[in-house]
Amino acid sequence: MQTVDEILKIKKVKNTAVRTVVLRYLLNQEKAQSLKDIKNALVYSDRSSVFRTLKTFEENKIIHSIHDGSGMVKYAVCAEGCNCDLKDLHYHFYCNNCNKTFCLFDIPFQNIKLPNNFKIQQANMVVKGLCNNCNK
Amino acid sequence: MQTVDEILKIKKVKNTAVRTVVLRYLLNQEKAQSLKDIKNALVYSDRSSVFRTLKTFEENKIIHSIHDGSGMVKYAVCAEGCNCDLKDLHYHFYCNNCNKTFCLFDIPFQNIKLPNNFKIQQANMVVKGLCNNCNK
DNA sequence: ATAATCTTTGCAATCGAGTTGTACCATAAG
DNA sequence: CTTATGGTACAACTCGATTGCAAAGATTAT
C-alpha cells in the first residue's frame, strides 16, 4: 500500500499537518468514513479544516465521496491508479444494520445501456442490505 | 395510466386534499421531484404537510425516493404493479447540467454478485452525466 | 534576512433540507 | 350530540454542510 507521502506527491497535493493525519486515518479504515467519523477520530482537529481537506482530496482524486443515503456523505481512499474515470467506477454496499459503507472494488461495474444521447460521466451506486457481519 | 383515486384506493391510503394535489402533481412529472419542487409548484400548500404526505406515500409504496447526491431527496411515482421489491429496483439518471433525475425503468437491473454472506435488500443506483437535452 | 504574498487552519456563524411539536379542524365512530 | 381519530398548517428546531474572517504558517521576491 502506498504511504501518505507517496500519495500526496503523486497527486501533487502539498503535505500539511491536517492532510497527513486525515489521509493516514482514511488509509487505515476498511469502510468509508463521514466527516463526523473523521472529526471524532481526530479529536484535536477542526471540523472545517477536515471538511476543506476532504474537498481538496476529492478534487485531486485522492479520495471519492459516496452518498449512501445515511444523511452523511462518506469518503474512501481511491484505489491505487484510480483517476476517478468511468473505469474506476465501483459499487458500494451500505449495511442497514451497522450503517457502514463498503467499497466493492471486486465486483465489475456493468456498462448499462443508457437511452439515446444520454452520456454517463459518473455514478453513485449503492446496494443496501445486510453485511456479512450483520447477516446472522 | 392510473388515476389518483385508483392509486390511493389500491394502496389503501385515504384520499385527502393535500394527497390528491401532491399525487396528481407527481403523476404529471416526467422527472423525480424534490420536496422543494413540489412545495414551489403547489404554492398554497404547506411544506410539512407535503413532507408528511410524501412519507405516507413512500410507506405505502405509492412513490419511491431517490438520493441522487444533489442534496435533496427526490420522489417519483412507482410504476404500476410496483411493490418496491428487489424486482422493482431500477437505475436512475441524474443530469449534471439540468439537475433533473430520471427513472430508467427500461434498463434491466443486473443482479450483482455480492461478497459471501452479504444480503441485498434495496438499492440506490444513480448514473450521472448529461441527459439527452443537455448533451449537445 | 526581511518583507510581501499566498495558503492553510481554527473558530464562529450561517444555510438549508429534513423533521417534529402543537393546536386546530374535518370526518368517522359511538 | 359527543368523542375519538387522523390530517393539516404554522412555527420551531436539528444537524450536516458550508462559508467569512482573521491568525498562523509557508513560500517567494527583494
Residues in chain B: 136
Q: Print pLDDT tens along chain A (136 aa).
A: 789 999 999 999 999 999 999 999 999 999 999 999 999 999 888 999 999 999 999 999 999 999 999 999 999 999 999 999 999 999 999 999 999 999 999 998 888 899 999 999 999 999 999 999 999 8
Task: Identify the pLDDT of residue B11.
Answer: 94
Task: Identify the pLDDT of residue B6.
Answer: 94
Q: How many domains does chain B have?
A: 1
Give exposure, B88-123, as e/b (b: 16+ Cβ within 10 Å). Answer: bbbbbbbbeeeebbbbbeebebeebebeeebbeebb
Q: What are phi and psi of B92, to 5 degrees?
A: -125, 155
CB–CB contact B131 A118 (8 Å): yes
Q: What are phi and psi of A33, to 5 degrees?
A: -120, 145
SS3 content of chain B, % helix, strand, coil (to 5): 30, 25, 45
The CA distances from residue A24 to A52, A76, A83, B30, B115, in Å, are: 16, 12, 20, 45, 27
Instruction: Tell me, yes or no, whether B99 lies in a domain.
Output: yes
Q: Are A39 and A47 in contact (CB under 8 A)?
A: yes
Q: Rounded to a whole number, what is the largest CA-CA distance in chain B?
A: 51
B72 touches chain A (CB under 8 A): no
Put simply, whether the predicted model's pTM sits higher than 0.85 gets the answer yes
Size of interface A-B (CB pairs under 8 A): 104
CB–CB contact B129 A118 (8 Å): yes
Task: Identify the pLDDT of residue A44.
Answer: 84
Task: Identify the pLDDT of residue B42.
Answer: 93
CA A14 – CA A18 distance, rounded (Å): 11
Residues whose CB falls within 8 Å of the CB of residue B59, separated by 6 or more in sequence, listed in order: none
Task: Identify the pLDDT of residue A37.
Answer: 97
At A55, is the secondary structure helix, strand, or coil? helix
A114 touches chain B (CB under 8 A): yes
Residue A77 belongs to domain spanning: 4-129
Instruction: Tell me, yes or no, whether B80 lies in a domain.
Output: yes
Task: Identify the pLDDT of residue A104.
Answer: 96
**Which candidate, B122, B124, B125, B132, places its Cα nearest to that of B100?**
B132
Instruction: Tell me, yes or no, whether B30 lies in a domain.
Output: yes
Which chain B residues are within 8 Å of A119, Cβ to Cβ?
Answer: 129-130, 135
Task: Identify the pLDDT of residue B72.
Answer: 96
Instruction: Tell me, yes or no, whether B136 lies in a domain.
Output: no
A129 touches chain B (CB under 8 A): yes
Instruction: Tell me, yes or no, whether A52 lies in a domain.
Output: yes
CA of B14 to C1' of C22 (A): 23
CB–CB contact A69 B124 (8 Å): yes
Q: Given A93, A114, A130, which is nearest B127 (Cβ)?
A: A114
CB-to-strand D under 7 Å, chain B 78-117: none
Strand D closer than 7 Å to the CB of B17?
A: yes
Q: What is the CATH number of the domain that holds B83?
A: 1.10.10.10
CB–CB contact A124 B68 (8 Å): yes
Task: Identify the pLDDT of residue B45.
Answer: 85
Position of cell 467519523? A37
Task: Identify the pLDDT of residue A77.
Answer: 97
Dihedral sign computed on CA atoms, order B29, B10, B55, B41: positive
Q: Given A110, A122, A132, which is nearest B128 (Cβ)?
A: A122
Instruction: Tell me, yes or no, whether B135 lies in a domain.
Output: no
CB–CB contact A120 B106 (8 Å): no
Q: What's the DSSP call for residue A106?
A: T
Strand D closer than 7 Å to the CB of A71?
A: yes
pLDDT along chain B (136 residues), means of 10: 92 95 96 97 92 97 96 96 93 96 92 93 96 93
Q: Tell me, what amino acid is at B47?
A: R
Task: Identify the pLDDT of residue B74.
Answer: 98
